[in-house]
Structure formats: C-alpha cells, structure tokens
Structure 1
C-alpha cells in the first residue's frame, strides 16, 4: 500500500538541495520518516540556547523568522521561505541553538530526522559538501557566541549612543585573496583554513577582479554545476562593488541595498582599478537595536496584507527617530527612508494586482508625485500619485481605463490604511483626471505648459517631480522627453513658475520677526513648509528645469548640481542645499515630537537657540529669490 503522505513529502523535497542530490530510494526513506509540524503565527520552534533537537528543518509552507536575542532585544536575522533549510547546528556541530526560530505566519515545517538522514547520506560527498558549506555560511555570520560581543558592541545604547553611523565602518583589513589561476578547490581550502566566508580574486597588482562567497560554493559547486578543479574565474562574481576606507556605516547599508550584494571590497581610492585593502560584509553594518533597513525591506517584500505592511512601516519611523537622534546627515536619512517608502508602494501595487479579476490589459506605470517623487518624504504625508497606461484602441479605451481606476482605488485605499492620508485635492491615481493614457498625459502637460493659468502652474509644478515607482518606466521617460520638448519650444512657463517661486516672501518680517499665520486653526503658528521649504523647492525645480536637466528630482541634489554647472553661484546654491536639509530635518523632528506633520510650529515651544538656527536658514531664501527675479525678469518685488 502506497504512503500518500510520504509521496507528497518526496515530491516537495526532490526540488530542493541537498535532497535533490539523493537517489529516489534514499529520498523516499527520508520522506517516510519526516516529522510534519504545523505552526501558528508566533509559535516558537526552538529558542536560543535550547538543547539541540533530533531534527533539522525545511520550510514547506509559510516562513520562519530567525532572531538573535541581545540584552532583551530581539534582532531579526533572517526570514526562511519555502525550501529554505535551517536549524543545522545539531546535525553539523552538535551544539545548542544560537537563534530563536519563530513562525512569521501560519507555517508547515518538515523535521528531517538526523539519524535517518545521516544513514542515507553517509557516503554522498555532494550532500555533505552542500550541508557543510550551507552551515559554514551561517557560522561565519556574527551570531556565534564568541563573535557576538565584538559585533554588537557598536550598537549597544547605554547612557548615550556609543557609536555613530557616520563613523567609518570596521572592515577586515587583510582580506583573503587568490589569483585567477587558483582552482576553486584551492580557494575553498584557503577559506576553510582561515574560517572566512569569501575570497577576493585579484590580479598581480592586487586589483580586485572578482569575489567568491560560501553561497557560490554551495550553489555552484556542492550542487555539481561546476567542477571543483576549474579556475575560480569560472564562478566568481565580477565586477566587484568597491568603496573607500572612509565609507560610513550608513553608506555601506545603502550600497548593499542598492547593489543587492553582501560584500563590498575596500580599495585605496574606492574604485575597482586600485589595490585591494579590505573587505566588508553585510553583517558588519547591522543597524542599532535591530532596525536594519535590509531586514525591513525584506519584511515588506514578504508581507501579504496591508496591516502587516503598516506594522513594518512603523519600524521605519523608529529608524528615522534613531537616525535623527544620532545626527545623521539628512541626505543619508532620505535615501534610506525613500527606499522603504518605495518598497511599501511596490508591495501595495503587487497585492492590489492580485485582487483584480485579470492581469492588466496593457502596460502601466505608477508614479509618485510631490515629496515622495522628490525622495523627501520622511514622515507620513498626504498621497500624491498618478498612473500612466499604454495607449490602446478607441474601442478598448473605456474598459482599459476602468480597469486601472479600479486598480488605483485598491492601491490608494491600502496606502491610506498604512498611514498615507488621502490627498484633499484628490491628486491621486484613483481620480480619473490622474489616471490617463500616455498620449493623454502628453497632451495634458502640453496644455499646462502652453495654456498657462494659476491651476496649470500648481499642477505642473507637482507633476514635474514625478518618479516612476512600479511598472514600465519607459513610459515615464517618454513623457519626460515630451515635456522638455514642449518646454524648450514654449518657455513662458518658466516666468510663471518664477513668480510662483517668489510669491512667498522671506520668512522674516521687517523687524526680523517670524511671519506667522494670522487666522484659522493654526493662528500664530509658523508654517515652515509654506514659508521656508516651498520657496527652496520651487526655486530648485525652476532652475534645474531651465537648465534642461530632468534626471534629478531631489531638492538638495538639484542645488548641488546647480553648484556644479554654475560655479559663479556655487556658494549660494550650496547654502540653499544646506538650508533645505536643515529645515526639512527641523520639520521632521517637530513632527515626531508632536506626532503630526511638523508643518506648523508653535514658536513658543522653541528655544532661543532653535529660533536662531531657523533664522540662519532663511538668508539663502531671500538671496535665491533675488536670483530668480533677475534671471527671469520677474516684475514682482520680493
């Protein structure tokens, strides 16, 4: 009589290493002895320091979070998905567990009996090599008892933070290396002897040409894809990602997120054409108290419901607060938080698509506008978004548009649940006016540029800061080209945008007092967004557009680019960039302090020092407005 349960287990295991390296008979022997474990969300499989089990594990369905306990703080180390093996310590080293294994969601886990597995795989070198390299890749992570104290001391907070993310990272100064003529076997022996997780391939001048990690050995050699006797150049990752030794913790985090790598090579001048002097791995740059952007991004990618994303996104707020307390430069903070905001939007779009009855009828692009489009959205703000869909036939147009309006409705509703309020002016893709075909968007911008009125100035200025978040980015690039073609032909819009940029006077009155709101709910409050930030945002946008530069949306970066191309005004533009970042950081801190947007500030709540700092940021506003007035022949007096 057939064992149907064992057959189902067999059908699953045969798709994943190391089980796919076993014969059918031996794999069936294991499948018959499998312990099937059902875990509800939050259920613990094993704890740190628990005595080892008689099984190691593979995820069948769901996911398992692996945590490191550090001084009453749980730090998320990894998320094991379907097909991932974990809990190998009892099999390999017979030691107690060094991590907690907790169900991320409702999960089914297969417990592989160690005695049975050892019996059927005893003489299988490929299986043994796979398991050893898999375990080694985790053993070299900084979570063993002897390494833990050294790695995490950088992130322990007592009376005050001992370590700033602005400090240069502590990289390994004598990295293991080999030449391109080295065989993989020789490289693996070197790695084993030195107990390291990677080896850098260099030329005769010690210039890095490639890198091999434990993961390469596990996935390319242990699985039999390549012979262990061939040259390292056959499996090395190339080119390597390089940085200078002055790399900060925060820069390292961002580089690894952007490049999707776990190692950075440190060279003399930071390029891949200079001598190798060090190696840095991703565990060396773990953020304090587990607020690791890489882990947050991974959690967002795995989230299956909106309320999960909301909880994960709240971690970014804690990360933001921590960075501000450490006085991290705003440019670094913005990059990290923007990556998280974009990841939230991408996941929301993906989940919304699953709610639709059918796939999209044509290609589309989801655009972020306003502060998210400029990568300046640090706190929760109102939604500003739009959708471009591919041109379609007249007969299919209405059906296509209705599809994307319904999709946009799901997306904006989910973003609202996460914490991004609906736009009061309904500048959202769920509004038919902001959900248009590519041709319609081109015509819309042409109309705004050519037939200028007050509404057109407002809308076009918002849409000039768009950023493609999801979908076919080629359409957004095509729209940008169309916009600049019309701008170059009809430049009158620059004059009107200039008037808008100088419409808000200097934040200080004649006697250097703050200009406050005269009425309404925020009477006697200072509107830092309207009075200080928007004049700089508008000025940067106008000047960068007039220079025919469209690949830079961020206000600070716009001013820095202007400083490059207009050296005669370099000092002013640098002052504007600095002032903008300082004002945005001040607004963000106020928002966190009062649990609001930080837009309106009660002056009586500020210290004398804080007021002086604000006033110092206002000087560049008057100066840049004077430049605009002169350059664009604006009749309005500042």
Structure 2
C-alpha cells in the first residue's frame, strides 16, 4: 500500500467534489497527487502568467487570491480548491495566488479531471454549479468580473456548435478536401463513413503533414486524418468542451446524436466557437452596454439577455444566481441610459442625486421585462433654487423613463417613476414622505411602503441613499407600532388554496379563472421577509432570498421555516419565469388548465411555506386577535 496516497485519500474524502467519487476513483487521484510546500508570502502563480496544467487543494495553511490592484478577492483555507476555473479557461491567470501562511498544497493534474471527476455525474454536477455560484461554501475560488459583485459566465450553458459540419469521405484527396475547406471558409473537415464520423482534418494537419512534404496533395484524406474523433452529445456544455479539449489536446469535437462515434454526425464544435460563445455571455454583454451609444442599441442587448436567461434555466442553474446575473445586466443598462440622458440635457446635474430602482428590480428579482418602478432623490437646496433644480431632475427623469421604455421596460401604469413629481424629491422631502407613511399607516401608505422599502441605488451618490435609509429606520424605531401594521398588511394574502385544497383564482376581469402567482404566492413571501428583516433593523439587504438567509443566521431557532421559505420563493420565481418565457408575457397570470399534475403539486408544496411564515408573523407580532 502507498502510505502517502492513503493519507491524501483520507484527507480528500471529506471535501467536495472528492467525497462524491468512488473509492477507486479517489484512490487513483490520490496516487497521482503532488505534495507541495509553500513558504509564507511565496507565490503560487501570478497575474498574466501562462496557466499551468494543474489545480490545487489546500491541505494545511491558507492562500490569498489577489486582483490587479492587489485587493484580496478571496481567502482559501483547508479543503478549498483554487486554480480550476483558470485551468478550464486557458490563457493567462487573472488573479495572483500567494500563501498567507506556511501552506501544504495538493497539486492535481488536469488530465485526471476527465478520467475520474467529470466522468462521475455527481462530482461533475457539483463543479458545474460551483463555477456559477462561486461561493466560498462551494470550495471554488472567486474570479474578478468587472466588479459586478457576482461572477457571470457561460461555463454551464449548452455549447453553440456548428449544425452544418463540412464533410468528405476517406477516398477524397487531400487537395480536394483543402479546396472544400477553402470554399466553405472553415478550418476543419470531418471524414465520414455512412454519415458517421471516422476522422478529422484541420488547418494544422495541412501545415504539419502536407506543407512539410510528408504527404502529397494527391494522397487520400484518410492518410492525414486524426482518428478516432472525440465525440460528445447534443447537449454538451462549454465546461465539458473545455475539459475535453484540454485533456485530449485538440481544438475540435464532433457532435453526434448520442455522443458516440457510432451515431450520425450532427455538428462540429471548435475552440474558436467557445471563444465566440464567451463573447455572448453576461460579462461580455456588460462590456457592450458600456460601449452603447443609444437606447436602441441597449434594446438589442436586452433582447439577447432573454437568450441567456433561457439557456441558464435549461441548464438548471440556481434561480437566485440567475436573478443576480440578469439584475447586473438590468442595472448596467439603467446606468448607461442615465449617462446618455445626462448628455442630452442642456447642462450637467446642478447638485448630487441618486436614481433608485424600487420593487422587484430593487430586490434584484426582475428576470423578465416588466414595467418600470423607480424614483429620484436629490440633495437638499435652498428655497430660491428648489424650483430650478427640481425642474432639471424632472426633465432628466422623463428622458430616462422614455429611454427605458425604448429598451423594453414599459412605463408604470401607476406612474411610480422618477418623472412623476411625487417620486422626484429632495432628501428632506423623501424623509418626510417616509415618515408620513410610517406614522400614518393607512392602507394606501402601507402599500407604498411595501414598494418603496425595497429600493436599491442604481446611479449617483451613495451618501444620499445612506442618509435616507438612516432617517427611515429612525422613524420606524420611534414609531415601533408601525411594524405591527406592516405585519397585518403582510397577512392580507393568505395561503393560496381554498378549504378544499383548490387554487384560489381570479373571480373576474381579464384574468378570470387564472392564478395570480405574484400576488397570491410570491408577494406574501416577499412581504414577510421584508417585515422580519426590518424588525431586526437591517438596512442593507433587499433581496428576498438573502433576507431569509440573514434571518436564519439571526434566528437559528426558526432556521427550518426560513429555509423552507427561501426554497419555496426560488421555486416560485423560477416557475413564473419559465411561464413568462413560454407565453411571452410577465408570467404573472397562469392558466391552471395548462399545468400538469406534477407542476400543480410543486406549486402546492411551495404554498405551505406561505402558511408557515404567516403563522410565525401572527405569533411574533401578536396579530391573531387583530384579524
């Protein structure tokens, strides 16, 4: 027995994805691991250095990952993996890795990935989801992505391969094959037999095997083709393609119906295709947004975002990460719209201001194109300057709202937008407005609170928004009965099932007999999370899932309820998004007749979370006697 390999095995078996492997798979990896000792402050790799053929697991010690401005991006500790994303991406390292203390590393060759990790379905799925989430708990290092606050990439999306591969037979001459490639402007040609791929010729083969004189152009294609070909099924992901190309040191993959070379050829995927695909991911869309010069250009980018949304849903990426990705794009579009709107004005802004997204965009939950909800707050000015300053910001807001409409975000029917004089106010006016809503909590004011409490600064001065938040929480603190009223308001929509366990649907109107998933299922969970996070005086968390995560931390005794609500909210949000994409609408109203039994059961399970959180609110705020 290999004693060192046994010790490595005993360590790795406790950490994902190694704990998902079979005993034989993990022991094979353990025998091939290199053990490296690193002194404190010693570098493992540096920015712009060529990526090595290894990734690393920390046995003891700690490693810091630093960006180009020497800021610590992440700290990796015992059991954490780093260097794997870079390995799959190829090229040069984007981060610097330094030992923060004396460290022992396990260095694992990339050649082991395909043989022992990606061939294991559980381990492979873990890695794919980890690439998207990039959370510390998933043992995967964070990458810097244009300071978006989240990493948005294309590792999990299905690779967009060429559906019309150029082919020839084994008896085709090399000259004829080269002429076919030239005519079709491609860098490869697949040799087929009875529609099945048996070999491939690339530009490199022509250079190294023919141009060197080793073979004549009159020889058959079979003489210089690479065989057998590496094949994958139709649903190959970008990450799988990168791993395969890395392992086999090739630049082309053949796509067949079932992923074997015994099936008909359906397409060809090249390394160049991967590069092009990466140009159409969320990060590249953000870059395009920054370069855009008109709302019309931004509209085209937003339409392409729908394609990203569909692909990520199809790959079963967690909906909370998808919502952050789409929110990052929406925020970038809004920021660019504001930049363009300011340039259109006759003069620059007269003082400091901030643009707020409210409602679903403020919570980072706006996945589909819906109507606008926004507001503007500007720095206090003297009475003599007030009219002029407000006039400027109303004109600016009108330009912004019209431009967002061109992009695809419809104008709010209730006019809850910055171009409305009621929602374009100075800091003092907004403070007084919120104070009025809080101290006089009638039904209208409570409704406005539920919308405006979920605001997020999209553009402008952070200090103004922080002052506004401080003033709001001071008002709540001085009038604590407000939370009781807000609690009663949060119970206005009971669990959306009747006494007979039937869905509660709309009684009349344009959506008669349809189920309102927003009002009856999503909003009760949103309202509850808002109420409970406000009761803890937490100002900086607006996202519903993040609110429940924080509540789990603050109230471990209620962890099961909050986890149930977070999971139910994500299931409902995903369901609404899928319905909206399928029906080309907001997904809010659902025709129950179109649902199968499985979908109905999933929805009903999610509704139990509404009941559990509302029971908690009744007890917490002593609301039973008020209902």
TM range (shorter): 0.5 to 0.7
Secondary structure at the aligned position of 2:355 is classed as strand
Aligned to 2:620: 631
Deviations 1:403-456 (A, max 9, x none): 000010111101111111111110100000000000111111111111221111
CA distance in 1, matches of 2:546, 2:391: 38
CA distance in 1, matches of 2:63, 2:303: 40
Aligned pair 1:388/2:377, yes or no?
yes
Compared with structure 1, are the counterparts of its residues 547 and 187 closer, same or farther at alpha carbon in structure 2 (3 Å cutoff)? closer
1:241, CA displacement in angstroms?
Answer: 3.8
Aligned pair 1:495/2:487, yes or no?
no
Does the CA-based 8 Å contact 2:39-2:101 persist in structure 1? no
1:574-593 matches, within 5 Å, as 574-593=563-582
Compared with structure 1, are the counterparts of its residues 361 and 198 closer, same or farther at alpha carbon in structure 2 (3 Å cutoff)? farther
Secondary structure at the aligned position of 1:447 is classed as helix
CA distance in 2, matches of 1:440, 1:282: 39
Aligned pair 1:422/2:411, yes or no?
yes
Which consecutive residues of structure 2, in runs of 5 or more, have no partner in the other structure?
1-32, 108-140, 146-151, 161-276
Aligned to 2:265: none
Match of 2:514 among 492, 502, 525: 525
1:192-207 matches, within 5 Å, as 195-196=50-51
Does the CA-based 8 Å contact 1:536-1:580 persist in structure 2? yes
CA distance in 2, matches of 1:637, 1:272: 59
1:302-313 matches, within 5 Å, as 302-313=291-302
1:282, CA displacement in angstroms?
Answer: 8.1
CA distance in 1, matches of 2:459, 2:404: 15
Does the CA-based 8 Å contact 1:266-1:276 persist in structure 2? no
Aligned pair 1:340/2:173, yes or no?
no
Match of 1:407 among 374, 396, 400: 396
Deviations 1:130-173 (A, max 9, x none): xxxxxxxxxxxxxxxxxxxxxxxxxxxxxxxxxxxxxxxxxxx9
CA distance in 2, matches of 1:187, 1:420: 43
Per the normalisation by structure 1, the TM-score is: 0.61
Aligned to 1:475: 464
1:377, CA displacement in angstroms?
Answer: 0.6
1:155-234 matches, within 5 Å, as 195-196=50-51, 208=63
Compared with structure 1, are the counterparts of its residues 433 and 286 closer, same or farther at alpha carbon in structure 2 (3 Å cutoff)? same
Compared with structure 1, are the counterparts of its residues 319 and 248 closer, same or farther at alpha carbon in structure 2 (3 Å cutoff)? farther
Which consecutive residues of structure 1, in runs of 5 or more, have no partner in the other structure?
1-172, 217-235
Count of residue pairs brought into register by the alignment? 427
1:492, CA displacement in angstroms?
Answer: 2.0
1:181, CA displacement in angstroms?
Answer: 9.5
Secondary structure at the aligned position of 1:371 is classed as coil
CA distance in 2, matches of 1:369, 1:281: 29
Match of 2:348 among 347, 353, 359: 359
Compared with structure 1, are the counterparts of its residues 445 and 373 closer, same or farther at alpha carbon in structure 2 (3 Å cutoff)? same
Compared with structure 1, are the counterparts of its residues 484 and 585 closer, same or farther at alpha carbon in structure 2 (3 Å cutoff)? same
CA distance in 1, matches of 2:143, 2:535: 43
1:315, CA displacement in angstroms?
Answer: 1.6
CA distance in 2, matches of 1:450, 1:600: 34
Per the normalisation by structure 2, the TM-score is: 0.62
Compared with structure 1, are the counterparts of its residues 178 and 590 closer, same or farther at alpha carbon in structure 2 (3 Å cutoff)? same
Does the CA-based 8 Å contact 1:208-1:276 persist in structure 2? no
Compared with structure 1, are the counterparts of its residues 479 and 198 closer, same or farther at alpha carbon in structure 2 (3 Å cutoff)? farther
CA distance in 2, matches of 1:174, 1:600: 57
Match of 1:569 among 558, 562, 574: 558
Root-mean-square deviation (CA, aligned residues, Å) is 3.8
Aligned to 2:449: 460
CA distance in 2, matches of 1:531, 1:485: 31
Does the CA-based 8 Å contact 1:187-1:199 persist in structure 2? no
